Structure 1
């Protein structure tokens, strides 16, 4: 979207442009309503009944197991890490996030502002694996930083989404160890007091379609008071109440259908290519907020995605495929990589006889050929012993995601040659 031409737009087009600009803000508030806790461990429920929109913020919630086909809340989830989640409300002052020594393990806490900019990280790549105490504050705070703080993060607004990922091996011992690490994550005030506060989310975060115009306007107006437009971005809001309903309907449908990834060759594309800020690419920012909200920057993780084979044909479980990395030509990563399978119809994992939803450099028993190449069979039926097998859904279209954790320069500069999936 070229903001320099906004003055020449019709009122209808101007309304559409304003929705594209503010949609990430609304969708972040929707996700806050959907993912914050109703109950505090000691203070109890935030609201008096099940219909209450009150939630606790400045409080961690965790998943303690890797997701599988029975989990349907999140589309295209990873099968490598467990998640930790928190929403920060900085209007009452800073919060201090304490994390334990994580050993040698991969982990990250990614911080997104209310406009979906992944503006900061704590974790293996950026701050290391030692025990840490991170102070996060909002705009205008000028208080004293306690002596035991290891780093300070200045947030551009009062609302922040923190998404944590911790690598876990598929063994009971490691699952329990990671659970103990997650339970040591804490969020308190600089004086040591509990940081948790009640917040009225004002909406039902479980409804993913275009919202009613009055609700959209109320949420955006409230969020803007706490999270101003990014620096240098010309505000296009507010919108005429008469034009907003049609603009919402058309933009939400358009963004659901739109797919504008960056082509990588070999049938691979990169749906998200942000680093720390979307800049003036408001349309892509809105598309990602609609379809892939919560995406971190590519310096932390890249997710090249393939929906077609080497001949451009849609990947389908009625066929067998091979993905072959040449000798020395595997993914270049500072942490690890995996290839994950998803059914195309619902973007979820596919149940299979060996309970394998991803395969990668950490998969036990991964075999390389005599010449050093690595071949992965992608098909519904068992190819037999001696093959690296990623099961596909029988008789259904699918897609795969090559997850690259801490991708190296060859990937970040888009020079890496991604091998295609070849139909056998």
Structure 2
């Protein structure tokens, strides 16, 4: 009987460790981003403006886009509210995503929601009094504010920067972010950081079921003690962590299955509820993803493991009446994959990292259809305006559709397949 109880206890502890590792991964990934920004001179409660479009040197956040300028602010509301100012953006797409410590978008400001005229907004923490106009309450003290400002091309960069310069934040001084373990850390260091981050950002009551399941680990109150576990228990915890790591490598960002070679985002992308494993997968491969109503992200299926062979030529053909239905813009981005499942732009001779409806010189066929040529080798001078260069090795394709129309959101529209050229 004792042996059976011990086996059940160890299995329960292993299962709890697997769930807790996945649950904590978004906290860890955001904390890592916060620390990287601090190491580069960024301050808490202050926006850092990325004044150039992301290219192959951008390695801070996975799957960056090459369509918008970013302005990023790591916020700590524990010392009091902050005030955020958005400028008027007119017809230019602008969004400011406010994400809690668990990567849920709890508010989106900008073109779609607050309109083209900008405004001043007061962001308060979960325990602060909320009075006055344009008040937004955050569910956690740690917030990541990420703005995206559309750039229509090199000629438009200065105008976009002028809009970006109007994004600002005022608030109390906050301490530099604490250092936390990364995703590859040993289980004791990883869970110590998850514990501290959960204590600083208590989970919502709707997560209570999971919190009870992982209770044997003692997480969430800032007192995690790895020394309290026996060697057998430590081995069970390590086994659970390894199971979670294997699961995260096998998961994609899409919904169920593939349609014509593309996966589509789930409805809970960006505001995940209790979809903890999906939230963890997105934190690893698509950190800071927007909800589908703001932007849809579709990943190409590829040949094996979600990647294409760059030594072969590929073609994406849009019939004239089947271009992506959007109210803002669409673009196809190409990435090389890292061994741990993240995606970054690859260096190429055209310095072209994405191609879409705003690409200068994009050539449509006489019947109004559109061909995009993809691969490591040029498709020829007459097709180079529509060429998306790839590395010679494996690469991944992601389609972005900003402010998707109902036919795309509701599934009546589907992208055509990427086929060998």
Q: If the TM-score is normalised by the length of the shorter chain, which range does it land in? A: 0.7 to 0.9
Which 5+ residue runs of structure 2 have no aligned equivalent? 1-7, 218-225
Alignment partner of 1:368 out of 340, 359, 364: 364
Is 2:131 the counterpart of 1:144?
Answer: yes
| Deviation, structure 1 residue 134 | 1.0
- Name the structure 2 match of 1:218: 192
5+ residue gaps, structure 1: 1-5, 41-55, 190-194
Task: Give the distance between the partners of 1:312 and 1:283, measured in 2 at CA.
Answer: 19
Q: 1:344 to 1:199 in 2, by over 3 A?
A: closer
Q: Deviation of residue 288 (structure 1)?
A: 1.8
Instruction: Note closer, same or farther for the CA distance 1:327–1:12 as it changes in structure 2 (3 Å cut).
Output: same
- Asked if 1 retains the 8 angstrom alpha-carbon contact of 2:105 and 2:271, the reply is yes
- Does residue 1:180 correspond to 2:173, yes or no? no
- 1:20-59 residue pairs with structure 2 within 5 A? 20-36=22-38, 39=41, 56-59=43-46
Task: Note closer, same or farther for the CA distance 1:97–1:278 as it changes in structure 2 (3 Å cut).
Answer: same
Cα deviation for residue 385 of structure 1 reads 4.4
Cα gap change, 1:324/1:27 in structure 2, threshold over 3 Å: closer, same or farther? same
Other structure's SS at 2:331 match: strand
Secondary structure at the counterpart of residue 336 of structure 1: strand
The answer to whether the aligner puts 1:170 opposite 2:153 as a matched pair is: yes
Residues 1:401 and 1:200: Cα distance change in structure 2 (over 3 Å): closer
Backbone CA RMSD of aligned residues: 2.8
**Corresponding residue number in structure 2 for 1:203:** 180
Cross-structure match for 1:278? 272
**Distance of 2:31 and 2:92 partners within structure 1:** 32
Range with bigger deviation, 406-415 or 158-167: 406-415
SS of the aligned residue for 2:72 comes to: strand
1:14 match: secondary structure: helix
Q: 1:325 and 2:318 equivalent?
A: yes
Q: Distance in 2 between matches of 1:77 and 1:308?
A: 20
TM-score, normalised to structure 1's length?
0.83
Deviations along 1:109-135, whole A, 9 cap, x unmatched? 111111111121111111112131011
| Equivalent residue, structure 2, for 1:154 | 137
Aligned residues: 390
3-state SS in 2 of match to 1:375: strand
CA distance in 2, matches of 1:327, 1:177: 31
Q: Is the 8 A contact 1:138 1:155 kept in 2?
A: yes
Q: Using the TM superposition, name which of 326-335 and 384-393 deviates more.
A: 384-393
Assess, with a 3 A threshold, how the Cα gap between structure 1 residues 152 and 86 changes in structure 2: closer, same or farther: same
Within a 5 Å distance, the mapping from 1:301-380 to structure 2 comes to 301-308=295-302, 315-344=308-337, 347-380=343-376
CA contact (8 A) 1:210 1:248 kept: no
3-state DSSP class of the match of 2:106?
Answer: strand
- State the alpha-carbon separation in 1 of the partners of residues 150 and 74 from structure 2: 21
> Whole-Å Cα distance in 2 between the matches of residues 99 and 357 of structure 1?
28
Residue pair 2:82, 2:122 contacting (<8 A) in 1 also: yes
Whether the aligned pair in 2 keeps the contact of 1:105 and 1:167 (CA below 8 Å) is yes
Change (3 A) 1:285 1:135: same
- State the shift of 1:264 in Å: 4.4
Which secondary structure state, in structure 2, belongs to the residue aligned with residue 327 of structure 1? coil
- The alignment's TM-score, normalised by the length of structure 2, stands at 0.84
CA contact (8 A) 1:85 1:163 kept: yes
- Distance of 1:229 and 1:69 partners within structure 2: 36
Shift of 1:35: 2.5
Instruction: Report if the CA contact (8 A) 1:95-1:136 is conserved.
Output: yes
- CA–CA distance in structure 2, aligned partners of residues 367 and 137 of structure 1: 49
